Amino acid sequence: MSAVGTKRLGIIGDPVEHSISPAMQQPALDELGLPIRYERWHTPLAELPARIDSLRSNDVLGANVTVPHKQAVIELIDEVSPLAQAAGAVNTIVNRDGRLFGDNTDVYGFRLSLTGTIADASTRNAVILGAGGASRAVVLALHEIGVPKLTIVNRRPERAEQLIAELGSTAVVAAEPGDVLADAGILINATSLGWHRGELPLAADLLDRLPAGALVVDLTYRDTDLIEAARERGIATLDGLGMLVFQGVLAFERFTGQWPSLDVMWSAARAARAPRV
Alpha-helical (H) ranges within the chain are 21-31, 48-54, 82-87, 106-117, 133-145, 157-167, 225-232, 241-256, 262-273
Long-range CB contacts for residues 147-154, cutoff 8 Å, separation at least 24: 147/121, 147/122, 147/186, 148/123, 148/124, 149/125, 149/183, 150/125, 150/126, 151/125, 151/126, 151/127, 151/180, 151/184, 152/127, 152/128, 153/127, 153/128, 153/129, 153/177, 153/180, 154/129, 154/130
CB 236 within 8 A of CB 217: no
For 255, the 3-state DSSP assignment is: helix
70: annotated active-site residue: yes
CB 181 within 8 A of CB 188: no
CB 67 within 8 A of CB 91: no
> Which residue in the list 7, 37, 51, 70 is annotated as catalytic?
70
- By annotation, the residues acting in catalysis are 70
